[in-house]
Copies of this chain bind each other. A is one copy, B any other.
Amino acid sequence: MAELRLTPTSYIVLGLLDRWGEATPYDLKKAVSAGVGNLWTVQHAQLYSEPERLAAAGLMRERREAGGRRRRHYTLTAKGRRALERWQATPTGDLTELRDPGLLRLFFGADPAVIAPVQLEAHRARLAEYEALRAATPADVPAGPRLSLEAGIGHEREWVRFWSRLAGDAEGG
């Protein structure tokens, strides 16, 4: 029940549990890949340690299978749900950094003609993937994931614009 800092990873676990009702770390792993993973990756090892931390703080309950694999199943406690809701209701002025590996190279003097084509292709592929995902999205998925996907698409388009111009310049020059 000690104090602990809640990180984005914590809220990802809390948020997923809120939807799933009950889940093992492996369920969480699958859930991450299926959704949030596009927006915020979590290493699978953390899906074992983080619920443990959260359980120690009383935000989740652990049930251990008696036989066989002895899997751990987690569920939110009321306290956990409150923490999640408080977080959802608290707007942030925090902004992400770009933290883009290609752009970092560019910043430090890499030749755009070298960087741009590879980045361009990677972003195009991702954009296509997102758009396919959107096309395949059933009507009943909640607004959150849908909007996040829209955001992702918007930014991928922006990257494609950016790197296209650089790749084009190199080619044309």
A interface list, Cβ under 8 A from B = 8, 11-12, 15, 18, 35-36, 38-41, 84, 87-112, 114-115, 117-119, 121-123, 126, 142-145, 147-148, 150-152, 154-155, 157-158, 161-162, 166
Contact = CB atoms under 8 A, between A and B. Distances in A.
A122 B95 contact: yes
Judged by DSSP, the binding face of A is helix
Report the 10 A-B pairs with minimum CB-CB distance, sorted nearest first: A15-B108, A91-B118, A88-B110, A93-B122, A96-B100, A107-B144, A107-B148, A94-B101, A158-B158, A92-B101
A5 B125 CA distance: 28
A109 B35 CA distance: 13
Contacts of A147: 106-107, 112, 166
B121 A92 contact: no
B144 A151 contact: no
Contacts of A88: 105, 108-111, 114
A94 B122 CA distance: 8
A108 to B, nearest CB: 4
Nearest to A15: B108
A98 B41 contact: no
B92 A96 contact: no
B119 A93 contact: yes
Contacts of A107: 15, 35-36, 39, 144-145, 147-148
A162 B151 contact: yes
B118 A92 contact: yes
A103 B49 CA distance: 24
Contacts of A143: 112
A18 B107 CA distance: 12
